[in-house]
Amino acid sequence: MILDWKKRMRKVLFKTSDKKLPLEQTDEKALTAQDNLSNSLQENISALKSIYSKCPDVIFRTFLIGNSQKAVLIYIEGLSNIEEMDKNVLSELINLESENGLDYSVLENLPVSNIKQVNKIQDVINQISTGNPVVLIDQHSQGVTLGLAKWEKRSIEEPSAESVVRGPRDGFTETLSVNISLLRRKLKSPDLKMFSMNIGRYSQTQVVVMYIDGLVDQTLLEEINNRLSRIDVDGILESGYIEEFIEDYPFSPFPQVLNTERPDVSSANLLEGRVVILVDGTPFTIIAPITFYSLFQAAEDYYQRFLMGTLVRWLRYAFLLIALLLPSTYVAILTFHQEMVPTTLLISVAKSREEIPFPALVEALIMEVTFEALREAGLRLPKQVGSAVSIVGALVIGQAAVSAGLVSAPMVMVVAITGIASFSIPRYNAAIAIRMLRFPIMFMAGTIGLLGIILSLLTIIIHLSTIRSFGVPYLGPMAPMKGNEMKDVLIRAPWWSLKKRPRLTGSGNTNRQSYGQKPGPAQEDEQEMNKT
CA–CA separation, 292 and 488 (whole Å) = 12
pLDDT digits (tens, 9 = 90+) for 302-341: 999 999 999 999 999 999 999 999 999 999 999 999 999 8
Least Cα distance to 265 among 318, 317, 303, 219 occurs for 303
List CB contacts of 424: < 8 A, sequence separation 6 or more: 315, 316, 319, 323
Q: Which range has highest mean pLDDT (156-165, 232-241, 362-371, 490-499)?
A: 232-241
CA–CA separation, 529 and 326 (whole Å) = 56
Given a cut of 50, is residue 362 above it in pLDDT? Answer: yes
- Average pLDDT (120-128) is 91
Residue 364 and residue 410 in contact, taking contact as beta carbons nearer than 8 Å: no
Given a cut of 70, is residue 15 above it in pLDDT? Answer: no
Given a cut of 70, is residue 184 above it in pLDDT? Answer: yes
Q: Long-range pairs for 162-169 at CB < 8 Å and ≥24 separation? A: 162/260, 162/261, 162/262, 162/265, 162/298, 162/299, 162/426, 164/298, 164/299, 164/300, 164/303, 165/300, 166/300, 166/303, 166/304, 167/264, 167/299, 167/300, 167/303, 168/262, 168/263, 168/264
Map 90-151 to HEC letters.
HHHHHCCCHHHCCCCHHHHCCCCCCEEEECEHHHHHHHHHCCCCEEEECCCCCEEEECCECC
pLDDT digits (tens, 9 = 90+) for 81-102: 999 899 989 988 888 775 544 5
CA distances from 437 to 53, 145, 290, 349, 441 (A): 51, 53, 20, 26, 6
Residues composing the chain: 532
Would you place residue 30 in the very low, low, confident or very high pLDDT band (cuts 50, 70, 90)?
A: very low
CA–CA separation, 162 and 369 (whole Å) = 26
Residue 435 and residue 372 in contact, taking contact as beta carbons nearer than 8 Å: yes
List CB contacts of 276: < 8 A, sequence separation 6 or more: 183, 209, 210, 211, 266, 269, 270, 285, 286, 287
Given a cut of 90, is residue 135 above it in pLDDT? Answer: yes
DSSP of 372-391, one letter per residue? HHHHHHHHHS-HHHHHHHHH
Given a cut of 70, is residue 471 above it in pLDDT? Answer: yes
Backbone angles phi, psi at 59, to 5 degrees: -100, 130
Measure the CA dihedral 328/330/334/340, to 10°: 110
DSSP of 452-502, one letter per residue? HHHHHHHHHHHHHHH-EETTEETTTTTTTT-GGGGGGTTS---GGG--BPP
CA–CA separation, 34 and 227 (whole Å) = 25
CA–CA separation, 496 and 302 (whole Å) = 12
CA 425, 465, 221, 241 torsion-angle sign:
negative
Q: Is 288 helix (H, G, I), strand (E, B) or coil?
A: strand
CA–CA separation, 415 and 438 (whole Å) = 11
Given a cut of 70, is residue 21 above it in pLDDT? Answer: no
Provide the 8-state DSSP code for 155.
P
Q: Is 72 helix (H, G, I), strand (E, B) or coil?
A: strand
Would you place residue 291 in the very low, low, confident or very high pLDDT band (cuts 50, 70, 90)?
A: very high
Would you place residue 380 in the very low, low, confident or very high pLDDT band (cuts 50, 70, 90)?
A: confident
Q: Is 12 helix (H, G, I), strand (E, B) or coil?
A: helix
Would you place residue 390 in the very low, low, confident or very high pLDDT band (cuts 50, 70, 90)?
A: low
Give the predicted TM-score (pTM) of the model.
0.86
CA 355, 356, 357, 360 torsion-angle sign:
negative
pLDDT score of 9: 43
List CB contacts of 528: < 8 A, sequence separation 6 or more: none
Would you place residue 31 in the very low, low, confident or very high pLDDT band (cuts 50, 70, 90)?
A: very low
CA 460 to chain centre: 25
Max Cα separation, the chain?
Answer: 110
- Average pLDDT (427-443) is 94
DSSP of 177-239, one letter per residue? HHHHHHHHHH---TTEEEEEEEE-TTT-EEEEEEEETTTS-HHHHHHHHHHHHT---S---SH
pLDDT digits (tens, 9 = 90+) for 237-268: 999 999 999 999 999 999 999 999 999 999 99
CA–CA separation, 457 and 145 (whole Å) = 59
Residue 239 and residue 261 in contact, taking contact as beta carbons nearer than 8 Å: no
